[in-house]
Amino acid sequence: MSYSRRQFLVYAGLGTYAALRDPAAAASAPEFPLRRRKGKAPGFKPVSPSAEDALRVPDGFRVDLVAAWKDPLGVAGPSGAEQFGFNADFIAYFPVDSLTGGKNPNEGLLWVNHEYPNPLFVSGYRGTGTKTEAQILAEKACVGGSVIHVKREGGRWRHVPGGKHTRRFTAAYPAFSVTGPAGKVIPQVYGTLANCSGGRTPWSTALSCEENFQDYNSTALFGMRWSDVSGQQLDERHYGWVVEVDPFGELPPMKHSALGRFSHENTAWRLGPTGRLVVYMGDDAQDQYLYKFVSAGSYRAGASRAEQRKLLTEGTLYAADFAAGKWLPLDLSRSKALRDAGFKDQADVLIRTREAAAAVKATPIDRPEDCEVHPLDGTLYVALTNNSKHGNVYGQIVRVVEDGDNPEGEGFRFEIFLAGGPQSGLACPDNLLFDRKGNLWVGCDISSRSVGKGPYEPFGNNGLFVVPTSGPSAGDAFQFASGPADAELTGPWFSENEETLFLSVQHPGEESPSLDKMTSHWPDGGNAVPRPAVVAITGFR
C-alpha cells in the first residue's frame, strides 16, 4: 500500500508513525485517547466519560433533586400559580440568616436563573408556522429566575414551597428601574430574559446576567421569536444588562447600565486597595471582549444594603487589550476614539458597549464564558469556551494577573492556564467556580448537537471537572460528574461550609426531534419529558 503525500502529512502530523511501518495499522484511524491524569483527585474517585442518560457522581456522594421545571412554587404571581422555570442555569445560595451575618449551611434561599425555553417541551411549538399568543406566554413565563426556599433535614435537601420570599421573575415581570447613564434613556423596563450565569454581591443580592437576548427576536434558536402575534420586536435595549435582585425582597430589582450592555455571561468581583468594587465580566460571543467595571465609590462594610448597592451605579467600564496588557476605559470624556466614532453621550456608549469596545480596539477573544477570582491569590480565571470562526474547537482557560496585584489599575498580564482537548481531558470550559482551597471547578459545554461527535467523540456527555491550581496535580482535570443526554451542568455553587454543591442540569434532551423521539427522560425516567432541574450534591469532607 502506498501513501499519498497528503496521507503522510496527516499521519505524521498526528504522530502516528507506526502506521507508516505497519500497513495493517494504516487501515485504522489514528486515535486520541483522553490523557486524564493519574494523580490524586481532590477527595473523590473520578467518574468516567459516559453517554448514559444519567447524572453520575463519584461513589460516596448523594444527589437530591431539589427543584425541577414545572414544580409548583406554592405562591401566586401576576398570572396565577407560579412554577419553577425552565433551563435552570446560575445558582446562588443565600443562608436564611444572611442579613444578620449568619451562615446557616442547612437552610437558605436559592436564586436560580432560567436561561431560555425549548418550545417543543414548553409551548408545544414545532418550529414551523406562526406561534399562538398562548405559546408565547408559556415561553415568556418559563424564563427569568426563581427565588426558592430550600432546607436540609435528615441529611436530605428539599424545596420548601410557599416560602415567605419565594417568587418568580419572568420575561413579563416585575418592573426593573435602570440605574446609571442609560437610565436617562430607558428609565424602566419590564421583565428579564436570557439569564445565563451571574454572581452574588457582598451585600447578599444576586446578579443575574442577560445573555443571548437577540434570540428572542429571531428564529435562530429553536424557532424562538416572540413577535409572531403582536408583530412587535422586543426592544433589545431593554436586555443585555446585569440585573440585581434581592432574594430577601428588601431592595427593588434593578438593571445596572454602568456595567455595559452585551451578552453578559457572569460577574466576578474583588475589592481593590482603596475599597472600590471591581467586577469582571465576559461577553459570550465569538470575537467579543473581556470587561471590568471599577466602582467610583468605595465599599463600606457597615453601610446599609441600599447604600452599598449604589457601587454598581457609577464607575468606569473597561475592555481588555490583551496585546498591550491594558484595560481601555469606555469613557467618552477620556477617549478620543469613542468621540471620533460618533458616540453622543455615555448612555450611548453603554447601550452599544460592543461597538465602543471595538472603537477603542480592545482584543476580540474566543467566547468568554464564566470568569472567577482565585480565592487565595486574587488572579482572574476566564473560560474561553471555543471559537469555530478560528477552528478553536476545545477552548482554553486564561489566567489574568493585574499589575501590582491592583484590580483598580489599568495594566495586566496573562497566561494560558489550561488548553482544552484530549491532552487535558476536557473540552469547551464554561461555568467556573473556586472552592476555598483554590481548586477550580469547571462545567463543560460541548454544544448538545456536537456531544460525542467528531472532535468531541472521546469526551462523552458534558461533565463537571475539578482542576487543582497548585501542587503536583496543578492544571490536571479530574471528572466529578457526567450529565444526562444533551445536558450541560451549569451554575455550580457551594454552600458556605462546602458540604453541599448545588448544580443545575440544563437542557437534558435538547436534541429531541419530537415528543415521540426524546433523547432524554431525565430525571423522571420512563417515557417522561425531560425536565431541567437543580440538584444538591452532598458527601464532601
Q: Which residues bind ligand FEO (CB under 6 A)?
A: 115, 196, 211, 265, 284, 369
Closer by beta carbon to ligand FEO, 196 or else 360: 196
> 64 contacts which partner out of ligand FEO, Ca ion, none, CB within 5 to 8 A by kind?
none
Write down the least CB distance from residue 211 to Ca ion, Å. Answer: 8
Question: In angstroms, rounded to a whole number, what is the distance separating the alpha carbons of residues 199 and 208?
Answer: 7
What's the CA gap between 214 and 352, in Å, rounded?
14
Q: Which amino acid is located at 231 in the chain?
A: G
CA dihedral (378, 383, 389, 393) positive or negative: positive
User: Each residue of 229-245: b (16+ CB within 10 Å) or e?
Assistant: eeeeebeebbbbbbbbb
> At closest approach, how far in Å is the CB of 395 from Ca ion?
9
Partner interacting with residue 210 (select from ligand FEO, Ca ion, none; CB below 5-8 Å by kind): none
CB-nearer residue toward Ca ion: 330 or 432: 432
Residue closer to Ca ion by CB (options 11, 241) is: 241
Least Å distance between CB 196 and ligand FEO?
3
SS3 content of the chain, % helix, strand, coil (to 5): 15, 35, 50
Residue (196 or 245) nearer to ligand FEO, CB? 196
Closest to ligand FEO by CB, 210 vs 402, is: 210
The minimum distance between CB 91 and ligand FEO, in angstroms, equals: 14
The residue at minimum Cβ distance from Ca ion is 445
What type of residue sits at position 195?
A: N
First to last CA, the chain: 58
**Which residues in this chain contact Ca ion in the complex, by CB under 5 A?**
369-370, 430, 432-433, 445
Nearest distance, CB of residue 222 and ligand FEO, angstroms: 15
224 vs 220: CA distance, rounded Å? 7
For the four alpha carbons of 36, 390, 463 and 434, in that order, the dihedral sign comes to positive
Shortest separation between residue 507's beta carbon and ligand FEO, angstroms? 10
- Report what 115 binds from Ca ion, ligand FEO, none; CB cut-off 5-8 Å by kind: ligand FEO
Q: Which does 211 bind (CB under 5 to 8 A by kind): ligand FEO, Ca ion, none?
A: ligand FEO
Quote the least distance from Cβ 155 to ligand FEO, whole Å. Answer: 32
Show the cell assigned to 62.
Answer: 448523594
Tell me whether residue 16 or residue 447 sits nearer to Ca ion (CB atom): 447
510 SS3 class: coil
The residue (of 294 and 433) whose beta carbon lies closer to Ca ion is 433
Which CB, 215 or 430, lies closer to Ca ion?
A: 430
| Beta bridge pairs of residue 538 | 62, 500
- Going by C-beta distance under 8 Å and a sequence separation of 6 or more, which residues neighbour residue 172? 78, 79, 140, 141, 190, 191
Residue with smaller CB distance to ligand FEO, 115 or 139: 115
CB of 284 to ligand FEO, least distance (A): 3
Nearest to residue 431, comparing CAs of 392, 389, 469, 397?
397
Distances (CA, A) of 358 to 8, 273, 329: 42, 30, 12
Helix (H) or strand (E) holding 120: helix 119-122
Query: In whole angstroms, how close is the CB of 428 to ligand FEO at the nearest point?
Result: 11
Task: Report the alpha-carbon distance of residue 28 to residue 420 in Å, rounded.
Answer: 25
In eight-state DSSP terms, residue 473 is T
Angstrom distance (rounded) from CA 87 to CA 489: 11
